[in-house]
Amino acid sequence: MSGLVGRNLLAGAEPDVAADAGHPDPPPRMGFFTDTSVCIGCKACEVACKEWNSVPEDGLEFTGMSYDNTQQLGADTWRHVAFIEQRKPIGRAEPGTDHGESPGAASDGNGTDMRWLMASDVCKHCTHAACLDVCPTGSLFRTEFGTVVVQEDICNGCGYCIPACPFGVIDQRKEDGRAWKCTLCYDRIGGGLEPACAKACPTDSIQYGPLDELRERAALRVEQLHDIGVEDARLYGHDPDDGVGGDGAFFLLLDEPEVYGLPPDPVVTTRDMPSMWRHAGMAAAAMLGGLAAVFAVHGREGGAR
Alpha carbon distance 159, 96 (integer Å): 57
- What integer pLDDT is reported at residue 135 of this predicted model? 95
Low-confidence ranges of the chain (pLDDT < 50): 1-8, 93-101, 276-280
Give the CA distances from residue 2 to residues 31, 188, 274, in Å, rounded to whole numbers and listed in that order: 28, 32, 20
- What integer pLDDT is reported at residue 194 of this predicted model? 97
- What integer pLDDT is reported at residue 74 of this predicted model? 93
Q: Is 165 annotated as a binding residue?
A: yes
**Domain at 17-88+111-267: CATH code:** 3.30.70.20
Q: Which helix (H) or strand (E) is 132 found in, with range?
A: helix 130-134
Q: Is 164 annotated as a binding residue?
A: no
Q: Is 12 annotated as a binding residue?
A: no
Q: Is 250 annotated as a binding residue?
A: no
Q: Is 279 annotated as a binding residue?
A: no
Q: Is 225 annotated as a binding residue?
A: no
Q: Is 19 annotated as a binding residue?
A: no
Q: What is the pLDDT of residues 66-102, one digit of tens each?
A: 677 788 899 999 999 999 888 876 555 443 334 444 5
107 strand-pairing partners: 113
Domain map of the chain by residue range?
Answer: 17-88+111-267, 269-299
Quickly count: other Cβ atoms within 10 Å of residue 11's Cβ: 18
Q: Among residues 169, 95, 132, which one has the least CA distance to residue 21?
A: 132
- What integer pLDDT is reported at residue 297 of this predicted model? 58
